[in-house]
Amino acid sequence: MDAHALHPATSTGIPNRKLAIWTFIGSECLFFASLISVYLVYKGKSLVGPYPHEMFEIPLVTAGTALLLFSSLFVVLALNGCEQGNRKKFLGWLAMTILCGFFFIGMQVYEFTHFYHEGLTMQKNLFGASFFTLTGFHGTHVTIGVIWLITIFIEGLKGHVPPAKALNFEMAALYWHFVDVVWIVIFPVVYLMNS
């Protein structure tokens, strides 16, 4: 079947669902810009500790960052496999992406738990409130992305994601890449510019 048979002609020349996911990603840019702004505005304004430099474990977060970056590579390789009808490549790389997503969520759960036991909560100070809000919303997006990718994986196992339906997966992949680029901004802004 021709890959475009399922995408009727549109006035923009772009499948409507692809246009929709890009518009959604555009709105998400503003959402995270607001959260990053709040974090930056409150940076250094906490009157009581714990303070950022006392809390962060850079090696752990660097490992999480690397995993998220690699997951972006894996998902684009999976999409490439899906578009070419290479089921083994598609499902293999997609499974790796999901695994990386789980590890990243695990890293964040560990970090949040550790911070909580160290006395940092949302109510403790401005750093806690802005940090947990920003990274918490990002973690929620990662979780939603993992769930979305798992559903694609299950559909792929059933053979329901042929090259003609690659757009279904491409939308999830675009969302996943967006989650990655947001972290590309959060990682230096929150963790590396903390002194």
Partner 1 sequence: MDSTAQAHEHNFPERAGEYVKIGLVLFVLTAMEVGAYEIAHREGVPLHEFLHTALIPVLIVLSAIKFALVALFYMHLKWDGPLLKGIFSFSLFLATFVILALLALFIYLGKFSAIIGPLTGAT
Q: Contact positions toward partner 1, by CB under 8 A?
A: 3-4, 7, 9-10, 12-15, 18-19, 22-23, 25-27, 29-30, 32-34, 36-38, 40-41, 45-48, 58, 62, 65-66, 69-70, 72-73, 75-77, 79-80, 83-84, 124-126, 166, 170, 174, 177-178, 180-181, 184-185, 187-188, 192-193, 195
Closest contact distance (angstroms) between CB of 49 and partner 1 is: 11
Cβ 159 to partner 1, closest distance in Å? 20
Q: What 3-state DSSP class applies to 14?
A: coil
Find the shortest distance in angstroms from Cβ 99 to partner 1.
Answer: 16
50: left (phi over 0), alpha (psi -120 to 50) or beta: beta
State the nearest-atom distance from the C-beta of 89 to partner 1, in Å.
Answer: 8
Structure-token pair, residue 94: 């997609």
Of 33 and 157, which has the nearer Cβ to partner 1? 33
Question: Is the CB of residue 153 less than 8 Å from the CB of residue 98?
Answer: yes
For residue 49, CA distances in Å to 14, 126, 161, 169 come to 51, 10, 51, 44
Which residue number, 153 or 176, has a Cβ lying nearer to partner 1?
176
Tokens of 138: 């990002």
Closer residue to partner 1 (CB): 19 or 157: 19
Distance between first and last Cα of the chain:
57
Residue (60 or 150) nearer to partner 1, CB: 60
> Cβ contacts of residue 23 below 8 Å, gap of 6+?
none
Of residues 62 and 151, the one with the C-beta less far from partner 1: 62
Distance of closest approach, residue 79 Cβ to partner 1, in angstroms: 8
- Look at residues 49, 72, 92, 47 and name the one whose alpha carbon lies nearest to residue 142: 72
**Nearest C-alpha neighbor of 111 from the set 147, 65, 76, 75:** 65
Query: Which lies closer to partner 1 via its Cβ, residue 99 or residue 185?
Result: 185
Look-up of token digits 């890959």: 3
Compute the least distance from the CB of residue 139 to partner 1, in Å.
19
